[in-house]
Amino acid sequence: FTTIEGNMCDQRFKSMIDSFGSKYAMKKYFELIPNIFGITPHIIKSATCGVDIIPTPLYLGLDYKKFCNKRVIKSLKNIVFIGSLTKRKRISEILDLANNFRSLRFHIIGSGSLKMKLESIATSNVIFHGHRNHAEIVKLLNIMDLNILLSHSEGFPKVILETAAASIPSLVYDSYGIDEIIKDNKNGFVISTNEQAYLKIKNLIQDPLLLKNASKGAFLFSQRFDWKLRIKQWEDIIENLV
């Protein structure tokens, strides 16, 4: 069997069709695989280009102990992005927010083709950490208050789980079904436009209790994705494959 972990059919964004070169080539490849799973309900529902996906999602998990940090976030001071510095991740939108919120520190963890360009236009409250290993990221997360991910096309970003386990809620776009997992103002923050991102951060500065409650919610929801629990679902399904 195999799992689908990203956008398969929507060619408005980078999709699996791009990777295979054509829809025909992609369909021929997956015809050889008898059991295909999506890792979220949204991926399953949006797979409308001729590949049969089993309707039960196989969610990803995380090594919970590595990231677990039950703490109380009292106010918004440090915002973090973790990922590749590429156009698809829309880091420029994060830099725009940094320019509008000079009292906050924006931490960019990762490397990529746009690193030098982004560094050249960033304001002084943006800190580029470059590539970091897991241990270094876990240490940095101890001071972060909000995770931000402004790309419009994702599968199921594990960084959302990892930061949630460290009691850090995420600010994300609703365009790839993540609102099935992140509930606005409950365990994170879901937006539809860049203007809403600005307004949400402004609201979090003015209302620290909203951030504190979302932090608690994020920590609780992350517990459901401990690999110790998730692997049992995978094992049960694999054992029953025909």
pTM: 0.90
Q: Tokens representing 237?
A: 């399904």
Instruction: Phi first, then psi: give them for residue 89, nearest 5 degrees.
Output: -80, -10
3-state secondary structure of 185: coil
Instruction: Phi first, then psi: give them for residue 166, nearest 5 degrees.
Output: -95, 15
Q: Using alpha carbons, select from 149, 88, 95, 84 the residue that is nearest to residue 119.
A: 95
pLDDT in tens, the chain (242 residues): 677 777 778 777 777 888 888 988 988 888 888 888 888 888 888 888 888 888 888 888 999 999 999 998 999 999 999 999 999 899 999 999 999 999 999 999 999 999 999 999 999 999 999 999 999 999 999 999 999 999 987 778 899 999 999 999 999 999 888 888 899 999 999 999 999 999 999 999 999 999 999 999 999 999 999 999 999 888 888 888 75
Place of tokens 């399953």: 44
Q: Tokens representing 193?
A: 């436009």
Helical pair 194-206 and 208-222, crossing angle rounded to 10 deg: 110
Q: Fill in the DSSP letter of residue 190.
A: E
Give the list of residues 6+ apart from residue 53 with CB closer than 8 angstroms, or none. Answer: 4, 36, 37, 38, 43, 44, 47
Place of tokens 């050889």: 32
Identify the sign of the CA torsion 134, 138, 143, 144: positive
Please give the Cα distance from 117 to 184 (Å, whole number): 33
Q: Tokens representing 151?
A: 């790309």
